[in-house]
């Protein structure tokens, strides 16, 4: 049993007492749930140790129900990630991993790719990569903590059921934060019926917990550098050029490439930790979150130039732009952009989203983020943590 002095709820109370946080009853409810989960994880570890010779007494062995994780969902800035991070830091087990969900799936695809390379070279005869990939992941972490659990990529959607059926069978416990309820994951996605078994599996192995607080704590922070230049034209191009020169500090810029999964992602211009792209480079080509993460593994400041108006004719490009901004935020990268207009005027058409019983959102870069409904049809963009516009995708 964890020491109550080290509990998540006790830590939360301490942060409130010092003025770092404000009292929030909804957050405290979840903190206590996470305390209970931490106790179960520690008790389970102790039980496994005490039963190291349990085979001698197999007739007396009792089956213990699997430990259920937590899937915490709610609006942006409600404190989901903060609570999960407190839990991750406080839970006293060794085999644990905290990761953004997009980064986790990129890692999974890398492991699958490497396994297939081994199969091709004759290093293994195991044709199905999922059992060995799941075994590797479980050997590294019994507890998986996912921030920003969302599914937008069909490649991810199609493997989640098989991957997590293996992980859950081994005893893996998942704690996740998300902006959408499980039933709204991969909403309107291609072949979604093949994804639904994963939703049922997730509900069976994790308690689904809404965070109902109405306060967006991120809106209380409005500091940040301006990152959005408009309208397009020579003056804006010159302004971006000045910022580029300042950020690169005289380092010679040149085209580069990022190797990823047996192919190369072109970087039109790079200097030190800075990379410079056009909207076309990143959003009009078949790239996804994993590709953006690969770019950000090398470059921490990203320039995106010549962002056009967004409308029904650019449905896929708009989705990629939202994913790009989401990935930038979660990686803690810096963004500088030029666009045809201020964010509030990017849209060329508007469409009312379908009604939903819950809210969700995407987030953007460290100074820019995008919020959306679970149906992924309506998005709110934020610059410097201040709401400035709504972006809608078109289905």
pLDDT digits (tens, 9 = 90+) for 321-332: 888 888 887 777
Please, which residues have CB within 8 angstroms of residue 116's CB and are 6 or more apart in sequence? 129
Q: Are residues 251 and 201 in the same domain?
A: no
Residue 103 pLDDT level (bands cut at 50, 70, 90): confident
Domain final residue pick, 175, 210, 245: 210
pLDDT exceeds 60 at position 194: yes
Residue 265 pLDDT level (bands cut at 50, 70, 90): very high
Q: Where is average pLDDT lowest: 26-30, 135-139, 216-220, 277-281?
A: 216-220
- Contact between 269 and 245 (Cβ < 8 Å): no
Over its C-alpha atoms, the chain yields an Rg (Å, rounded) of 23
Q: Which residue has the tokens 């496994």?
A: 48
Q: Is the dihedral of CA 309, 312, 317, 319 positive or negative?
A: positive
pLDDT exceeds 50 at position 263: yes
Mean pLDDT of 53-77: 70
Check whether the bond before 357 is cis (ω within 30° of 0).
no
Q: Identify the burial level of 359 via C-beta atoms within 10 angstroms of its C-beta, where 0-12 means exposed, 13-18 middle and 19 or more buried.
A: middle
Q: Are residues 197 and 54 in the same domain?
A: yes
pLDDT exceeds 90 at position 221: no
- Contact between 385 and 370 (Cβ < 8 Å): no
pLDDT exceeds 60 at position 48: no
Is residue 215 assigned to a domain?
Answer: no
pLDDT exceeds 50 at position 83: yes
Query: SS3 of 23, please?
Result: coil
pLDDT exceeds 60 at position 395: no
Domain final residue pick, 156, 186, 210: 210
Give the span between the Cα atoms of 325 and 323, in whole angstroms.
Answer: 5
Q: CA distances (Å), 308 to each of 79, 107, 313, in order?
A: 34, 32, 12
Which of residues 175 and 362 earns the better pLDDT score?
175
- Contact between 137 and 165 (Cβ < 8 Å): no
Domain final residue pick, 210, 232, 261: 210
Q: Are residues 161 and 253 in the same domain?
A: no
Q: Are residues 111 and 67 in the same domain?
A: yes
Q: Which domain holds residue 252?
A: 221-392
**Strands across the sheet containing 143-147:** 96-100, 143-147, 173-178, 69-73, 206-210
pLDDT exceeds 60 at position 341: yes
| pTM exceeds 0.85 | no
pLDDT given for residue 303 in this prediction = 96
- Contact between 184 and 46 (Cβ < 8 Å): no
Residue 302 pLDDT level (bands cut at 50, 70, 90): very high
- For the chain, the domain total comes to 2
Is residue 216 assigned to a domain?
Answer: no
Q: Are residues 187 and 228 in the same domain?
A: no
Is residue 167 assigned to a domain?
Answer: yes
Closest CA to 104 of 192, 182, 163: 163
Residue 394 pLDDT level (bands cut at 50, 70, 90): very low
pLDDT exceeds 50 at position 203: yes
Is residue 309 assigned to a domain?
Answer: yes
Q: Note every long-range contact of 210-213, with CB atoms under 8 Å and residues 24 or more positions apart, other chains counting.
A: 210/72, 210/73, 210/74, 210/181, 210/358, 211/26, 211/27, 211/30, 211/72, 211/73, 211/74, 211/75, 211/78, 211/79, 211/80, 211/83, 212/26, 212/74, 213/24, 213/26, 213/27, 213/74, 213/78, 213/79
Closest CA to 179 of 351, 330, 318, 388: 330
Q: Are residues 247 and 137 in the same domain?
A: no
Beta strands in the chain (DSSP E): 69-73, 96-100, 143-147, 173-178, 206-210, 228-229, 254-260, 263-271, 274-278, 301-307, 334-339, 368-372, 378-383, 386-392
Query: SS3 of 169, please?
Result: helix
Q: Are residues 83 and 156 in the same domain?
A: yes
DSSP state of 310: B
Which CATH number belongs to the domain containing residue 136 in this structure? 3.40.50.300
Mean residue pLDDT of the chain comes to 80
For 344-392, the pLDDT digits (tens) are: 777 765 444 433 333 322 233 334 444 433 333 334 444 433 333 444 3
Which of residues 61 and 222 earns the better pLDDT score?
61
Q: Are residues 259 and 155 in the same domain?
A: no
Q: Are residues 248 and 361 in the same domain?
A: yes
> Among 16-25, 166-175, 298-307, which range has the highest average pLDDT?
166-175
């Amino acid at each position: 049993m964890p020491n109550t002095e080290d509990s998540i709820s006790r830590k939360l109370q301490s942060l409130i007492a010092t003025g770092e946080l404000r009292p929030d009853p909804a957050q405290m409810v979840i903190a206590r749930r996470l305390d209970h989960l931490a106790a179960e994880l520690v008790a389970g570890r102790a039980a496994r140790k005490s039963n190291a010779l349990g085979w001698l007494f197999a007739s007396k062995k009792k089956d213990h129900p699997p430990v259920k994780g937590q899937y915490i969902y709610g609006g942006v800035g409600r404190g989901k990630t903060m609570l999960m991070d407190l839990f991750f830091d406080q839970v006293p087990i060794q085999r644990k991993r905290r990761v953004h969900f997009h980064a986790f799936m990129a890692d999974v695809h890398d492991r699958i790719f490497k396994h297939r390379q081994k199969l091709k070279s004759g290093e293994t005869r195991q044709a199905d990569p999922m059992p060995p990939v799941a075994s590797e992941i479980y050997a590294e972490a019994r507890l998986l903590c996912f921030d920003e659990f969302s599914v937008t990529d069909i490649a991810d959607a199609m493997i989640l059921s098989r991957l997590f059926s293996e992980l859950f069978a081994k005893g893996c416990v998942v704690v996740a934060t998300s902006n959408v309820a499980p039933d709204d994951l991969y909403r309107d996605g291609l072949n979604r019926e093949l994804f639904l078994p994963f939703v049922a599996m997730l509900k069976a192995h994790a308690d689904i917990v809404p965070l109902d607080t109405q306060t967006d704590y991120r809106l209380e922070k409005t500091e940040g550098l301006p990152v959005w230049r408009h309208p397009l034209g020579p003056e804006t191009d010159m302004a971006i050029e000045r910022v580029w020169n300042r950020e690169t500090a005289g380092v010679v810029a040149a085209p580069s490439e990022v190797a990823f999964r047996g192919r190369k992602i072109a970087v039109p211009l790079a200097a030190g930790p800075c990379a410079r792209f056009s909207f076309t480079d990143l959003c009009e080509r078949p790239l996804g979150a994993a590709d953006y993460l690969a770019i950000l593994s090398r470059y921490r400041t990203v320039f995106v130039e010549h962002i056009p108006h967004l409308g029904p004719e650019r449905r896929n490009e708009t989705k990629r732009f939202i994913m790009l901004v989401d990935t930038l935020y979660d990686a803690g990268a810096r963004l500088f952009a030029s666009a045809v207009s201020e964010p509030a005027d990017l849209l060329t058409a508007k469409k009312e989203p379908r009604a939903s019983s819950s809210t969700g959102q995407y987030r953007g870069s460290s100074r820019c983020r995008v919020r959306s409904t679970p149906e992924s049809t309506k998005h709110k963009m934020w610059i410097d943590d201040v709401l400035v516009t709504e972006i809608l995708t078109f289905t």
